[in-house]
Structure 1
Amino acid sequence: MSASVKDFLGPKGVLVRDGLEFRRPQLEMAEAVEEALSASKPLLIEAGTGVGKSLAYLLPAALAAHAEGLHILVSTHTKALQEQLVRKDLPFLSRVLVRESIPISFALFMGSENYLCLRRFYQSIRDANALFASAHSVETLGRLKTFVEGHTAKKGQSGLRMDLPDAPDDLWRNIHRESDNCMASHSPYYQDCYHHAAYSRLKGSDLLVVNHALFFANLASGGKVLPAYDAVILDEAHSIEEVAASHLGLNVTNFSIKWQLDQIYNPSTEKGLARRFETLTTAWRRAAMDQVRQLRRKTDEFFERLIEAFKTAPGSNAFRVRKPEPIPNTLTQPLDDLSGHLREGRDKLEAPEDKQEMKAYADRLTGLAATLESFLTQSDRQLVYWIEIESRPRGTRVQLRASPLDLSRALKATLFREDAPPAILTSATLTVQNDFEFVQSRIGASGILGVELGSPFNYERQCLLYLPKEMPDPGEDAAYYQAVEDQCRRLIELAGGGVFILCTSHDWVNRLFCHLSEKLADHKFFKQGGPKSFGMLDEFRRTPAAVLIGTDTFWQGVDVPGEALRLVIVTRLPFALPSHPLEEARVEYLRSAGFDPFTRHTLPSAVLMLRQGFGRLIRRIDDRGVVAILDPRIRTRAYGQVFLKSLPPARRAAGLAEVKSFFSKSAAGEPIRSERPSHGEAAGPDTGSTR
């Protein structure tokens, strides 16, 4: 008789006997996954923070793989979770299962850009003087060579950037694997290829750990990126719509075009592909360099015309392109011409690896030309087209974007088609007011079973929800900003640090950072998009009196347990900007179909985002803290109850005195009184949450 998840996670199970805390929701989730895999049926599971989702899906997946010989894909949105599964959770689970005579195998597989390519690496050593302007990059190549020669794939080295000595970006982009620049079995280094070794391990493993970007690239390619699998488990599933859209749309920027040109020839450093190969004539090199210079000038002119044509609304940076050919296409032909010149050079090269390198660059230019042509002609009428204009330290970045208006049909025809391997999707936020309908309709999963499991955390004791009275309406911009800044200052002083301030715009991030860091000089302030963003979160965790101000990514997927985070401030309910082209198009589409766009799309999207932001705070059973939602609409508008009923049942407060008391008791280790707000408090007539 095959082992079941109850044998391990039940009240008398193996893991519980070994000291793991028994969690009823974790067992229920594991049993739901076990049943779905057994029946080969898709499933949606919302499991609150603290359930122990990873083990609840890894265990039934491992047992099914062992009992039935299945290959099960496990996909995450973030690299951090991907690494956690492979370096912590799966080794632990494997040790437990081996004791019970259930051996399992697992493997990690990441995107091409994470792997060292030995062919490109040794080519770069050979052509270092033509490629690198930095002496540090050349010196690093030498150190890497010593490391690589002693740490081969055959000896178990992964070849992943995170496992190699540090390499600067200008070096890494010349030595990492590129999927369109791979010679595969024709490479002289194929037998020692790190990526090939990782793929081989993946094919032979029971559990295959990948990320959503790879998974949806595989889905879009018809299965050409990953090995065949029998089922897929998608963790952090609230993000799949965004990831899927990026693989089914268009995206090109002036920076990406110039970056490709710099790889061919950088006029500032006089380095690049055009300087590498000695067998090419001087005339060919000069012609390539001249074409690059002309293309750089034409690229600047093209995007300047785009800016002039669209940047008409002050304060806005995203503009819908409603009609084809908004400006003349002056870039596709010169891009194709330079591509042709590179192909001519390829024919004159002798070494197969040099021919491959030149072909890859030529193909990329052709691809850029085709993307520009598709955008300007709007060749796919199912896409929404727009441009985004952003000022950056090194110049204005102009992005051409196109995205499907409705992903549900595409995902229903791929991820959820009847003969597809069953897909099990899990996240802490898949429902609005305990209903999966919104997410199901968005991702083509209508009719698929949804299971909702609450968190084991005692939010009434661990968390205080602060909803201040008498805040101005957000429509009164100046007055509202001033009130928010004042509330943030007072709350930070009460918390003493360990603060996230979540904004809905980069403008507010910058304004609050500027004003609060000046007034609270004894605190260390961090902001998203600052000059030292890399490693910022780790430094935040290590800094006692830290305040981090962010938007976008800091609402979700960030894990800061313990005292390092004890206050989350939400400055405004996270409604999508109605003037954003994609949001505008969705509203038009729903209205034309006879739906109310606010209740059908705008409100539930904001509810899910707020739930993600709330979820940053309580990550462990012993965490305590305050979530402050400063937007008065959560109290004063009817739709505010939809937000409140979708949040965990934390105790509510309307005054700063209660916040001060909460922090004082938490610091002293005193128990927090568990109570619901009484009638007349800021929470309004509904005094509790259904969650």
Structure 2
Amino acid sequence: MALNDQVKQEIQQAYRTVLEGKGIRARYGQRLMIAEIARYLGAITENDGVRTSPHGVCVVEAGTGTGKTLGYLIAAIPIARALGKTLVISTATVALQDQIVNKDLPDLHHHSKLKFNWTLAKGRGRYLCMSRLEARLHEEGVGDSDTMPLFLLDEEQDEEPGSRAFFEDMLARYGSREWDGDRDHWPTQIPDETWKQVTTDHRQCTNRHCSYFDSCAFFEARRGLEDAEVVVANHDLVLADLALGGGAILPEPENAIFIFDEAHHLPGKALNHFAASVPLGSTRQWLKQMSQALVKMPPFLTPGSVAAKTVDKVSDSSRQVDVVLAQVYEHIRTNTEWDLTDERRPAQWRYPDAVLPDSLLPLVAEAQLATAGLARQLGVLADELQKAFDDRKEHDVDRTTAESWFPVIGAFHSRAEDQCRLWAAWSEKPAEGEHKRSGPPPARWVVLQRWEHVEDITLYSSPVLADNLLYSRLWSRAYGAVLTSATLTALGRFDRLQTRAGLPDKSKFLVVPSSFRYAEMATVEVPAMTVMPTEDAFTDALAKKLPDLWAGERATLVLFTSRRQMQAVRDQLAPDYPGLIITQDDMAKGEVLRAHCERVDARHSSVLFGVASFAEGIDLPGSYLSHVVITRLPFSVPDDPIEASLAEWVTERGGNPFMEITVPDASVKLVQAVGRLLRTESDRGRVTILDRRIVARRYGQLLLDALPPFRRMIEY
């Protein structure tokens, strides 16, 4: 529509109104961001709604203090409404998703006078399933039940003390509307093993046939989705929708404008989403569990019916899968060059160039065939049970039996389909010759884990780059897409993101200047160290150096790249500094941060020890953080099979994987870690880097130059 004057004025007026209403000044970077996004969206079409421009996305790197959320909302909402497109905002974290829904959008709606509505979209697995909660509460009385209890779905049935009271509390709060059934809104963190007992997925859910449909938390949350002009989702849900073809959960990509906040997570999330794995030992245990469950089913089915015959076929298929899994296990166990030197660590083997041994290929083909047969028969059985929900027709299965068994069979079917994905991925022949030059083959690897009396082998497959996946499913289909984050460049360039996310050639790129006066606000210091991080003595050197660094500081964050090293340093120092050090492993993340802030509020010193997740995902403004210590440059772990496969491909093409992959990746992580220090324009502090490689190696200057322009204090 080549941005018309009316929409331009609406954007400008909304921005002025927000600034006046909130009593804040316009930020230069924010204005640049609004203009860039508006220009990009306005240039997509010339005739209202039909794309006439080549595929491309808009990429905006905007640091802390820019006001990114307001920037993209102000620009995109009026244009999306004018075009009749749905604006889908996707975040990487639940915290940001909730902040946008509960704070940013209501705030904008109130102050801007823009007319729009919005809703939250999360996956089914984030919501309570009342049917499963009821089954869980009845679990203790089902010993002689004549229907199949849902708790048999759970692999682990060890009850925690007081868990019945916990579930009763859950029921009471949901019934009184004190809680909306959203896992993320429960007052405390719910462990995964507890939550999985009371949630469901699309394979187990009976939808409108469920007796709790009218009071279902998931469907209640979904009701506003079709009419919403702004949908706040997350990267995982967007990827799940794309995997289903797009438009199954969220609006069709062709009718949506996507804004990916925290966009640097998107390529990694895509890899995780399209990866697959099968633990051989526990899958065989699961097959045994499924067989034990199915034995109880025939008495409730009409003899000779399709459902009854299918139960027998499922049992036969299950036995075939078990036999071939045992053969695969034995083959891999005895024919793999495992490194078993460290008893405490799992042993891993990656297949170079994704090429499997010739002797393994027939077994993989057999496993694929057998597992596909099992999944197919479970699908037939699920369909037969679902027919019983249609009251207009006579059926061999009665409704009560169907209600009890459908979620169980659905769960079995879902797991069998997950296994099919791994076998299909392992059966694909890796690309060769020119085809291989266009992109790396998938990563394939196996992991041997050992416990006291048992071991298991897990098979893995993953794409190495998400470029083709994202391009074919998202960028080439979406009406428009904006990617934003504080860290999208690596070493000052967008090349890394463009490669990993498969961004179209016609994409727009912008780095928004920060409003922070970095040179006045902070210093980056590299003190003298006699030991390099690659030396064994580095842990002791850290323990000796750190007390001098935190002396006189109220709030210090020390970041490690190794959990083991973090704990070793803590063990050395804690006796001499009781109550001072809190590690991120001491409590849940929120509790750790709360304890730290309480110490600072009480005018006590506090030192936080953390690893990767604390280098990115925490916000400690003002007095809560004045010193960030980076113990070691955040280079990737060398045994990561996906990174190793990518490095192998780069090497085969004549490239230098260290300079093309390792250093840019480390730069992004280092910028994120340093970004913990300054959260508002009034913050002050310092960053100390204890890894002398940043001044002693050629690549160190690249890493230093990619940091914000702090005042540098380097000891040579």
**TM score, norm. by length of structure 1:** 0.81
Matched, 1:567 2:582: no
Taking the TM superposition and a 5 Å limit, the aligned residue runs for 1:411-560 are 411-417=470-476, 419-445=477-503, 446-475=505-534, 477-496=535-554, 498-528=555-585, 535-544=591-600, 545-560=605-620
CA-CA distance at 1:429 after TM superposition: 0.9
Judged with a 3 Å threshold, the aligned counterparts in structure 2 of structure 1 residues 200 and 258 are, in CA distance, closer, same or farther, namely farther
Q: Check the 8 A contact 1:181/1:357 in 2, yes or no.
A: yes
Residue in 2 aligned with 1:174?
197
CA deviation map 1:53-83 (0-9, x unaligned): 1111122222223444331000000111111
Measure the CA separation in 2 of the matches of 1:136 and 1:333.
44
Match of 2:405 among 355, 366, 372: 355
Matched, 1:103 2:125: no
SS at match of 1:622: coil
Percent identical across equivalent pairs? 27
Measure the CA separation in 2 of the matches of 1:510 and 1:188.
51
Q: Pick 1 or 2: higher relative contact order, CA cutoff 8 A, min separation 6.
A: 2
Residue in 1 aligned with 2:468?
409
Residue in 2 aligned with 1:160?
182
Partner amino acid for 1:373? Answer: W
Partner amino acid for 1:6? Answer: Q
Partner amino acid for 1:84? Answer: Q
Q: Check the 8 A contact 2:491/2:667 in 1, yes or no.
A: no
Taking the TM superposition and a 5 Å limit, the aligned residue runs for 1:24-103 are 24-40=28-44, 42-97=57-112, 100=113, 102-103=114-115
CA-CA distance at 1:453 after TM superposition: 0.8
Q: Check the 8 A contact 1:75/1:234 in 2, yes or no.
A: yes
Residue in 1 aligned with 2:423?
373
Matched, 1:115 2:127: yes
Residue in 2 aligned with 1:324?
356
Measure the CA separation in 2 of the matches of 1:165 and 1:564.
24
Measure the CA separation in 1 of the matches of 2:66 and 2:298.
58
Taking the TM superposition and a 5 Å limit, the aligned residue runs for 1:247-262 are 247-253=273-279, 257=283
Judged with a 3 Å threshold, the aligned counterparts in structure 2 of structure 1 residues 563 and 368 are, in CA distance, closer, same or farther, namely same
Q: Check the 8 A contact 1:257/1:368 in 2, yes or no.
A: no
SS at match of 1:201: coil
Measure the CA separation in 2 of the matches of 1:141 and 1:647.
48
Measure the CA separation in 2 of the matches of 1:491 and 1:265.
61
CA-CA distance at 1:610 after TM superposition: 0.9
Partner amino acid for 2:338? Answer: K
CA-CA distance at 1:437 after TM superposition: 2.3
Q: Check the 8 A contact 1:249/1:383 in 2, yes or no.
A: no
Measure the CA separation in 1 of the matches of 2:579 and 2:198.
44
Measure the CA separation in 1 of the matches of 2:647 and 2:191.
44
Partner amino acid for 1:117? Answer: C
CA-CA distance at 1:254 after TM superposition: 6.4
Residue in 1 aligned with 2:173?
147
Partner amino acid for 2:598? Answer: R
SS at match of 1:51: coil
Measure the CA separation in 2 of the matches of 1:392 and 1:74.
43
Measure the CA separation in 2 of the matches of 1:76 and 1:542.
29
CA deviation map 1:350-370 (0-9, x unaligned): 323223213213313422542
Measure the CA separation in 2 of the matches of 1:462 and 1:296.
63
CA-CA distance at 1:255 after TM superposition: 9.0
Measure the CA separation in 1 of the matches of 2:324 and 2:608.
41
Q: Check the 8 A contact 1:158/1:198 in 2, yes or no.
A: no
CA deviation map 1:510-565 (0-9, x unaligned): 3223223234324132144x575674344344343433333332222322223222
CA deviation map 1:191-242 (0-9, x unaligned): 3332223222122111110111111122222112322342000011111110
Which has the larger displacement, 559-568 or 311-320? 311-320
**TM score, norm. by length of structure 2:** 0.78
Match of 1:231 among 247, 253, 257: 257
SS at match of 1:387: strand
Measure the CA separation in 2 of the matches of 1:457 and 1:540.
25
CA-CA distance at 1:570 after TM superposition: 1.5
Which has the larger displacement, 240-249 or 311-320? 311-320
CA-CA distance at 1:116 after TM superposition: 1.3
Measure the CA separation in 2 of the matches of 1:20 and 1:256.
58
SS at match of 2:197: helix
CA deviation map 1:631-687 (0-9, x unaligned): 111112221111111101111224xxxxxxxxxxxxxxxxxxxxxxxxxx55xxxxx
CA deviation map 1:572-608 (0-9, x unaligned): 2122233432222212211222323233222211111
CA deviation map 1:463-495 (0-9, x unaligned): 2211112443333x1233332332223223342
SS at match of 2:224: helix
SS at match of 1:251: strand
SS at match of 2:241: helix
Which has the larger displacement, 392-401 or 560-569? 392-401
Residue in 1 aligned with 2:689?
629
CA-CA distance at 1:615 after TM superposition: 0.9
Alpha-carbon RMSD: 4.0
Measure the CA separation in 1 of the matches of 2:587 and 2:449.
16
Measure the CA separation in 1 of the matches of 2:158 and 2:465.
46
SS at match of 1:588: helix
CA deviation map 1:289-344 (0-9, x unaligned): 9x999999998997798567353164575431344268767988997898769987
Measure the CA separation in 2 of the matches of 1:437 and 1:236.
17
Partner amino acid for 1:148? Answer: Y
Residue in 2 aligned with 1:195?
218
Judged with a 3 Å threshold, the aligned counterparts in structure 2 of structure 1 residues 66 and 525 are, in CA distance, closer, same or farther, namely same
Measure the CA separation in 1 of the matches of 2:170 and 2:569.
43
Residue in 1 aligned with 2:52?
none
Judged with a 3 Å threshold, the aligned counterparts in structure 2 of structure 1 residues 277 and 213 are, in CA distance, closer, same or farther, namely farther
SS at match of 1:20: coil
SS at match of 1:603: helix
What are structure 2's unaligned runs of at least 5 residues? 1-5, 45-55, 143-150, 152-156, 303-308, 386-395, 432-440
SS at match of 1:495: coil
